[in-house]
Amino acid sequence: QLQLQESGPGLVKPSETLSLTCTVSGGSISRSNHYWAWIRQPPGKGLEWVGCIFDNGDTYYNPSLKSRVSMSVDTSKNQLSLRVSSVTAADTAVYYCARQATLRLNTYKFDSWGQGTLVTVSS
């Protein structure tokens, strides 16, 4: 069974860079034909798609975050990574990684999710 696990610092200072890793087990990132996404949820608010990445490094980002976000994938470790630069309190959220099925599979859904990790931006 596919499992995703987010990890990284729970506290980041304003103006610094948030860095998270998602480790995938029970399946291979590189042979899944899926994208791998980051989705965040500020406390008490709705979900927000941050972006996604394919195993070849192909990326798509939320236009509202594009200038501050970068994603990468390490297929040898079956991991994906997220970096968000110049963070502010508005970036405080639970960050989830998820498997994203897209139009290349004639569907569009997030069908497996990690448990999420809370990142707080505060000095």
Partner 1 sequence: QSALTQPRSVSGSPGQSVTISCSGTSSDVGGYNYVSWYQQHPAKAPKLIIYDVTKRPSGVPDRFSGSKSGNTASLTISGLQPEDEADYSCCSFAGTYTYVVFGGGTKLTVL
* Interface with partner 1 (CB under 8 A): 45-49, 52, 60, 62-63, 96, 103, 107-111, 113-116
Task: List the one residue out of 110, 115, 90, 87 whose CA is nearest residue 16.
Answer: 87
> What is the biggest distance separating any 2 CA atoms in the chain, rounded to whole angstroms?
45
Nearest distance, CB of residue 35 and partner 1, angstroms? 10
Q: Which is nearer to partner 1, 46 or 76 (CB)?
A: 46
Could you say which DSSP state residue 66 is in? T
Q: Which is nearer to partner 1, 84 or 98 (CB)?
A: 98
Token pair belonging to 37: 């996404």
Nearest distance, CB of residue 71 and partner 1, angstroms? 13
Phi, psi of 32 (to 5 degrees): -100, -20
Q: Is 52 left (phi over 0), alpha (psi -120 to 50) or beta?
A: beta
Q: Which is nearer to partner 1, 13 or 109 (CB)?
A: 109
Token pair belonging to 91: 């970036």
C-alpha to C-alpha distance for 42 and 61, rounded to whole angstroms: 18
Nearest distance, CB of residue 123 and partner 1, angstroms? 26
Nearest distance, CB of residue 15 and partner 1, angstroms? 25
Q: Which is nearer to partner 1, 103 or 122 (CB)?
A: 103
